[in-house]
Amino acid sequence: MISPQVLIKDGDTAVLERDRLSLSKDRGRVRVDIPLVAVGRAVKDGGTAIEVHLTDGPVHRIAGGNPTATEAFLTALVKALPEERDPAGSALVTTEEKEARRNWPWWTAGIAVLLAYVGYVAWVGGTHGIADAFVTTLSVLGTLIGLGCVIGTMESARERVNLARRGITVIATRGTHPNGKRHGYFTYTDTSGNEHVHFSGRSAVTTHLVYDPEQPGFCAFPEPLAWTMVKRVLYLALSLGILALGVRGIASPYL
């Protein structure tokens, strides 16, 4: 089975599904679903774009990607059109618009933090010398890395505790590609019948995986809870050490 084709250009996306054409515009703010029975014909507009003519006249334009991808998408679209079309056309098309996201507060906050960081490093360099400014620069990066490691370790420990409390163990299998090459992931099915994958470098064909029934997409290889917590404690100690060194370096001009 050939995977659904997708065209992406300047934040606009077109996906050719089994029975419909899904258009995403304005970086996902506007979504248009066009049933294939509502499409009269599809042609190139002379450039790299595609014009989708509905059975009752209206035209939807799809911004094309590179010429090869655009031609392949158009060919697949024309081939997927059913023999019998619905003259209702645009009446079958659904459009969903979402409220525009306001990204400027995040940009403003990020720029403010960056300016404060640069200003602090410049102040340290001007009052304590270039060497201290260099140490401060590395210390800020170390603090961010340490903080991220602490948060990641705590989250990993929480997930492992949840797996120990309510995890369901299943046999996961590694499939093969049509050419005989094995997949780089294991596949398992939860109690609701949904299929999930877990990427792993293990070479086994089958293995045991334990997943969280409240978050079926999260799974891990089974291991004793005591060993899991010992590893997390060591990770946490290392992360706190990195964080402490970073904070120490940032505060060094005052010490």
Burial class of residue 246 (count of CB atoms within 10 Å of its CB; 0-12, 13-18, 19+):
buried
**Residues 3-54: tens digit of each pLDDT:** 778 888 887 888 998 889 999 887 778 889 999 999 999 998 877 789 999 9
Q: Is residue 189 part of a domain?
A: yes
171 dihedral zone (left: phi>0; alpha: psi -120 to 50; beta): beta
Burial class of residue 222 (count of CB atoms within 10 Å of its CB; 0-12, 13-18, 19+):
middle
Pairing state between β 6-9 and 20-25: unpaired
Sheet hosting strand 185-189, strand order edge to edge? 195-199, 185-189, 168-173, 206-212, 215-220
Domain co-membership, 93 together with 111: no
Q: What is the pLDDT of residue 103?
A: 65
Which token pair is 63?
A: 């911004």
**Residues 145-155: tens digit of each pLDDT:** 999 999 999 99
CATH code of the domain covering residue 68: 2.30.29.30
- Which domain range does residue 61 map to? 6-97
Which token pair is 188?
A: 């398992």
Q: What is the pLDDT of residue 233?
A: 93
Q: What is the pLDDT of residue 100?
A: 62
Domain co-membership, 172 together with 237: yes
**Residues 184-240: tens digit of each pLDDT:** 999 999 988 899 999 998 889 999 999 999 999 899 999 887 888 899 999 999 999
Say how many domains are in the chain: 2
Residue 231: CB atoms within 10 Å: 15
Q: Is residue 205 part of a domain?
A: yes
CA 247 and chain centroid, separation: 32
Q: What is the pLDDT of residue 186?
A: 93
Q: What is the pLDDT of residue 106?
A: 77
Q: Is pLDDT larger for residue 64 or for residue 172?
A: 172
Report which secondary-structure segment, H or E, holds 142: helix 130-166
Report which secondary-structure segment, H or E, holds 68: helix 67-80
Residue 209: CB atoms within 10 Å: 21
Q: Is residue 213 part of a domain?
A: yes
- Distance in angstroms (rounded) separating the CA atoms of residues 38 and 74: 16
- Return the bridge partners of 51, or none: 43, 61
**Residues 77-134: tens digit of each pLDDT:** 999 999 999 999 889 999 988 776 666 777 888 888 889 888 888 888 888 888 888 8
Q: Which residue has the tokens 């294939």?
A: 36
Q: Is residue 209 part of a domain?
A: yes
